[in-house]
Structure 1
């Protein structure tokens, strides 16, 4: 009897020991970064006292974040304030970190290789003499300032990406906040109904409106390539399951390209129904809707209803960007980049390089393929119909003299006021160097409000390349 009890105790002790070992391994291997970066980790806060945090620098060498010291006191400075706040994020003892300050915290502290207890106490003894690594970004602050200024007082977002690499050239969200004043401004920022802390560019979810027609077009061109030759008789409306969807701006006989250029709801609702919910949903998913986008800062997942749940009416609405479909501006910028880059979507990135305090490049990013939603043939057709939208359709305000611009406008209905104004596009059409997505909340017509912002972003990027 005693031997049996000893065996039971031994088994219990061994089991408890095994659980502890596995849990310790889980914490150290899988959760170490999260625990290290947790805002309430006092050891990390003490480490920061002994380290001069690395800089965040734009593509032209301008500092977006740096630390100044005065004796033992250190202060984080953000020279461009609200303009780059949603990229840099903030670093606060009280409220933690966000943006690049959070996702690259260990790198900025120069501790991405890990640290030991001996390292910790050594740093505490010698004081704040260790410097962290610098982040060199793909973002150009001049472009950032232009986009922010053009949004004015309106809520919205702008994303500009290099199609062939995925490098983010500008990412603007408005309204913004000043990261230097995060501790004093925090209560007001949290209570502000305009949500200035929200990065609308990467986390804002909006109905896409007619910019969704790019994805609808991709679906029908993939499943029924002959559609490009079709001619449609558009009556100015379509009735689906008893509901009338208006289409007053595109009436009469329309080619496929004309229907796209004039943003025909009749034609694209019809094409959505023709391709069916499964094909439509699969194409939307291949463009990233419903998927996580790996990125340097947090993103929201665009939403695409399950195809089995879509009624015929919901399918028609989804095909023209209404209903339950919701997208982020970042996702639509990447979708646009697919049309620009022969059907390929490159992984989006903000950080180009990591540089040591001595100036050595310790890491350099390389372009990598994220998705390949359509063939080069389909992307060629998308390019040409998007060019027609800017040349002779609803996107005329995005035209840049001497440059073929491809684009699509959108005016997304919402229950809280005027439609959201959208524009997506890229240029030059033959060899694109920039793809852009612009949204203005409650802005009205995308062609009138969002397209001019895209035009100036395109003009600036191409001007820098020359």
Structure 2
């Protein structure tokens, strides 16, 4: 009887042990097979953390090979470094804690060196060799970028705003400034303050800042109206300097036109009254078509976050004709529209990357982007250019209302004036003094001309 009881007890223990082993085996299968991908993907996975910290990201270079971002240090203490401390809005940032932005985000897989090639995967996962990223070369010019940044910094009061410099023929972005910006080398220590900062230094105003355009739209509407034979530049305009109520203010021409004014005078003197007459003639459908053809209603495609709030439809042609309706624009959109006038009516497609390193270490050139289409004819574009060309400078400056209590200064320029190759757009927020935006714009023009001088 005792013998039988002992055997029974032993069998129960054996079953319990077997069940325990079975449970352990099932658990191992569950976590190593069923849930393996979820475990590997967890942010707190020590293996992932260690692997991420050992990745030597590729370099980001300017158009001339100048380093804009690179990874330095020993394999167990790598640091992402940006030699140009104000490059943040243009290049973006990489942070283990806060992720990526800008080009660092748009080309993250390339810069990380992600590869599905068997040898690379074997070396990284089995032999634990460090992951080496590949280089990306941008259209930016480091010297022009630094000059643009310094121009904003040199103006008293450290104005908020943006600057975009484009090469007209290619759509290449040579400089992109958003002010105030941030130092990507100090992102981790300043991140919380940057997020809470009411001046929004992490916002790339050049591609995401939405501004009510005001009479910035004037050259483009006039070019389209001229193209459609709705106006003649020497045609008479009645009462060009009449008062126009806008947001509780009364607006007239920026400078006084002659009593017997023409449409050319309307552009020269920045007159809003005749623009309302023209907008009423064109109607909402005509204005919509003009804004679409000049690229104001679509976001340009770039490897950056260019997302903005969805535009509401135009509602009032009289206000839309003077840029005071629902349309808002980014400085990049204005730069592309301006480049269209310099490009004989062809809307360029912007480009920010010229070459990407392949898995064999060879820089592969990225093809130039095709033009986005014809906004107006070359005849109309050249006619507006000729009107804007004064004393060898092809520029347009305007103080634009942006809501009831705000005014932004804009400066648009094509240079050289005789055969435009570059488009420059500057916006300074909350500024009625055109001298500020003019100083920045002219300084940028001078820098561009000097950089191309033989």
Interval of TM-score (by shorter of Structure 1 and Structure 2): 0.7 to 0.9
Count of aligned pairs = 407
Larger Rg: 2
1:132 pairs with 2:133: yes
1:90 pairs with 2:90: no
- CA 1:303–1:425 in structure 2 vs 1: closer, same or farther (change >3 Å)? farther
Distance 2:356 2:207 in 1: 23
**Pick aligned residue for 1:61 from 65, 70, 78:** 65
CA contact 1:302–1:328 (8 Å) conserved in 2: no
Stretches of structure 1 that go unaligned for 5 or more consecutive residues are: 1-34, 392-403
Shift of 1:235: 5.2
* 1:77 alignment counterpart: 81
Shift of 1:358: 6.6
* 1:424 alignment counterpart: 412
Shift of 1:459: 1.7
- CA 1:463–1:72 in structure 2 vs 1: closer, same or farther (change >3 Å)? same
* 2:428 alignment counterpart: 440
Please list, as runs of the form range in 1=range in 2, the aligned pairs for 1:277-426 lying within 5 A after superposition: 277-301=284-308, 305-307=312-314, 310=315, 314-356=316-358, 360-387=362-389, 390-391=390-391, 404-415=392-403, 417-426=405-414
Distance 1:163 1:454 in 2: 17
What is the TM-score of this pair, normalised by structure 1?
Answer: 0.80
Shift of 1:180: 1.8
Distance 2:437 2:97 in 1: 38
CA contact 1:158–1:201 (8 Å) conserved in 2: yes
Q: Secondary structure at 2:414's aligned position in 1?
A: strand
Q: Secondary structure at 2:356's aligned position in 1?
A: strand
Shift of 1:304: 5.6
**Greater CA deviation, 254-263 or 332-341?**
254-263
Distance 1:333 1:241 in 2: 26
CA contact 1:289–1:301 (8 Å) conserved in 2: no
What is the TM-score of this pair, normalised by structure 2?
Answer: 0.82
1:455 pairs with 2:420: no
**Pick aligned residue for 2:279 from 259, 262, 272:** 272
CA contact 2:385–2:394 (8 Å) conserved in 1: yes
Shift of 1:357: 7.9
- CA 1:346–1:154 in structure 2 vs 1: closer, same or farther (change >3 Å)? same
CA contact 1:412–1:422 (8 Å) conserved in 2: yes
- 1:384-404 per-position Cα deviation (integer Å, ceiling 9, x unaligned): 1221xx44xxxxxxxxxxxx3
**Greater CA deviation, 364-373 or 353-362?**
353-362
* 2:215 alignment counterpart: 210
* 1:12 alignment counterpart: none
Distance 1:316 1:279 in 2: 12
Q: Secondary structure at 2:233's aligned position in 1?
A: helix
- CA 1:302–1:438 in structure 2 vs 1: closer, same or farther (change >3 Å)? farther
Q: Secondary structure at 2:137's aligned position in 1?
A: strand
Q: Secondary structure at 1:229's aligned position in 2?
A: coil
* 2:28 alignment counterpart: none
- CA 1:239–1:175 in structure 2 vs 1: closer, same or farther (change >3 Å)? closer
Shift of 1:117: 8.5
- CA 1:355–1:158 in structure 2 vs 1: closer, same or farther (change >3 Å)? same
* 1:14 alignment counterpart: none
Please list, as runs of the form range in 1=range in 2, the aligned pairs for 1:13-32 lying within 5 A after superposition: none
- 1:387-441 per-position Cα deviation (integer Å, ceiling 9, x unaligned): 1xx44xxxxxxxxxxxx33222221213475511111121123321210110001
- CA 1:463–1:367 in structure 2 vs 1: closer, same or farther (change >3 Å)? farther
Distance 1:49 1:305 in 2: 45
Stretches of structure 2 that go unaligned for 5 or more consecutive residues are: 1-37
- 1:339-365 per-position Cα deviation (integer Å, ceiling 9, x unaligned): 000111221111111135875222433
Q: Secondary structure at 1:180's aligned position in 2?
A: helix
Alignment root-mean-square deviation, CA: 2.8
* 1:196 alignment counterpart: 201
